Amino acid sequence: MAGREFLELDSPQQRLYLERFKRMEVIQKMFNELPKADQNLCNHGSYFLAANSSLCGLAANNFFRNILHVRRAAFVSALPMAVIPFLSTAGVYEVFVREPLFSGDLNCEVCAVVRGGLIGAVVGGLYPVFLALPLNASLAARY
């Protein structure tokens, strides 16, 4: 027992896990060498995209409230239209763009930009509009 058995990997799964871990360390080291402004943009960029989707949700809410002539429950309809798109956009961006980039699963720059753009367009733009329609339609039917 010279300690060699601890260095030998039992299965291909363990080897793949170790390779992935090494790749993540290299990516993290490269990320730490970036300027602080770029690091902040990478770390907090999803929140700017999420804030944009919140504003889109509030605009869609206001648009449908004016079309349907809903005058009551302004805060009740505005709160979910700001919070739900914010949380969903931040979560989807984290899962589909940021995590694959830092784990090494997403190597293509164009693919990352397209994913980010689609998340911004679909989850940040269309989703709040489709969320505002039934919310304000139910308020119009009630009041």
User: What integer is the mean pLDDT of 94-121?
Assistant: 91
Q: Please answer whether residues 92 and 119 qualify as being in contact, where contact means their C-beta atoms are separated by less than 8 angstroms.
A: yes
Query: For residue range 4-21, what is the model confidence (pLDDT) as tens digits?
Result: 555 566 777 787 778 888
Six-digit token pair at 14? 């363990």
What is the structure's pLDDT at 5?
A: 53
Separation between Cα atoms, residue 93 and residue 21, nearest integer Å: 22
Separation between Cα atoms, residue 108 and residue 112, nearest integer Å: 6
> Where would I find the H helices in 12-142?
12-32, 36-67, 74-93, 99-103, 109-118, 127-142
User: What integer is the mean pLDDT of 84-94?
Assistant: 96
Query: For residue range 23-37, what is the model confidence (pLDDT) as tens digits?
Result: 888 888 988 898 998
Most confident listed range (20-29, 36-45, 46-55): 46-55
What is the structure's pLDDT at 8?
A: 60
User: What integer is the mean pLDDT of 60-89?
Assistant: 94
Task: Pick the closest to residue 123 from 27, 43, 56, 59 (CA basis).
Answer: 56
pLDDT higher than 80, residue 133:
yes
